[in-house]
Amino acid sequence: MKYVLMFVETEQFAQELAAKTAAEREQAYQRVYAWFDEHAGKISGGRKLQAPHTATTVRLDGPAPVTTDGPFMEGKEVVSGFTEVDVTDLDEALQMVRTWPGCPVVEIRPVES
């Protein structure tokens, strides 16, 4: 069984990172690498995702599912899980997500090849 974590970056986080000096940024990266190293035995895989503009969001908490453009990036909403699926195209992924019984928002993002 495979699990994938989806990391959500906020605007503030990006701004803070951009404001750092090159050396401070390097330190921040090193802490991330150290975290991966520390948990290396438990990480079975993972990939960098395409940028947020490639996202599609489906809302299932209304009377009918609503499909829209764009990622959700509100601070109160966080990604709670991630699973990698192998399908033909976005429509097939959408078809799967329509019947998703869990959390009310699902973001479909293509994996960077």
Partner 1 sequence: MTSTPADELARVVRDHAGRLAASLVSLLGDFSAAEDLVQDAVETALRRWPEEGVPDRPDGWLFTVARRRGLDLLRRQQNYRSKLAELQWPVQPAPDDRLRLVFTCCHPALAREAQIALTLRVVCGLTTAQLAAAFLVPETTVAQRVTRAKRKIAQAGIPYRLPRDDELPERLGEVLTVIYLLFNEGYLSSTRDRPHSRDLVDDAEWLTALLAGLLPAEPEVTGLLALIRLHRSRAAARFTPDGQLILLPDQDRSTWDHAAIAAATGLLTRTARRHRSPGPYQLQAAIAACHCEAASWAETDWHQILVLYDLLLRLQPSAVTRLHRAVAVRYVEGAEAALAEVDALRNELGSYPLLHATRAELLRATGDHARAREADQRALELTNNPAQAELLHQRLVRP
Interacting residues with partner 1 between 75 and 94 (CB under 8 A): 88-91, 93-94
Question: Are the beta carbons of 111 and 47 closer than 8 angstroms?
Answer: yes
Number of residues that bind partner 1 (CB under 8 A): 19
Among 38, 73, 95, 103, binds partner 1 (CB under 8 A): 95
- Shortest Å, Cβ 56 to partner 1: 4
In three state form, how does the secondary structure of the chain look? Answer: CCCCCCCCCCHHHHHHHHHCCHHHHHHHHHHHHHHHHHCCCCCCCCCCECCHHHCEEEECCCCCCEEEECCCCCCCCCCCCCCCCCCCCHHHHHHHHHCCCCCCEEEECCECC
Residue 2 interacts with partner 1 (CB under 8 A)?
A: no
Residues in contact with partner 1, shown as a per-residue x/- string from 34 to 63 under the rule CB under 8 A: ----------------x--xxxx-------
> In terms of CB distance, is 54 or 77 closer to partner 1?
54
Please give the residue ranges that form the binding site for partner 1 (CB under 8 A).
Answer: 50, 53-56, 67-70, 88-91, 93-95, 108-110
